[in-house]
Amino acid sequence: MSENTVAVTDTTFDDEVTNAGGLVLVDFWAAWCGPCRMIAPTLDALAKEYAGKIKIAKLDVDANQQTAMKYNVRSIPTLVFFKDGKHVDTLIGAHPRPALEAKINQHLAA
């Protein structure tokens, strides 16, 4: 976790994500997941670069299974985009930075 991302749990998910205004990207991850660890630095960099435009949250699926099940997360990393509290998009797997930036910009412009 970095200073630019926020950790969310089953308990804090609604406050941090579904009740939040604007664009929120939630990284469903686990400590044992290699691809999750691979994209973590990219997500941290994007959180810093897009500060004030997007919130990037991280939810550990092992510790927060209720929320993972609610959003049908079956493989990780799964990146779920919320705009004004509504689920608008999902990316599954470790995507390269240009693909993540394109997706963020697409939803910021929408």
- Rg of the chain, C-alpha, whole Å: 12
Cα separation, 104 vs 76, in Å, equals: 19
Annotated catalytic residue, options 24, 36, 46, 79: 36
Range of the domain at 89: 5-109
Whether residue 23 is predicted with pLDDT greater than 90 in this model: the reply is yes
Q: How confident is the model at residue 77 (pLDDT cuts 50, 70, 90)?
A: very high
Does residue 74 have an active-site annotation? no
Report the chain's terminal Cα–Cα distance, integer Å: 28
The total domain count for the chain is 1
Annotated catalytic residue, options 17, 26, 33, 100: 33
CB 22 within 8 A of CB 54: yes
Q: How confident is the model at residue 110 (pLDDT cuts 50, 70, 90)?
A: confident
Does residue 75 have an active-site annotation? no
Which CATH number does the domain housing residue 69 bear?
Answer: 3.40.30.10
**DSSP state letters, 41-83:** HHHHHHHHHTTTTEEEEEEETTT-HHHHHHTT--SSSEEEEEE
Return the SS3 of 26. Answer: strand
Say if pTM beats, i.e. exceeds, 0.85: yes
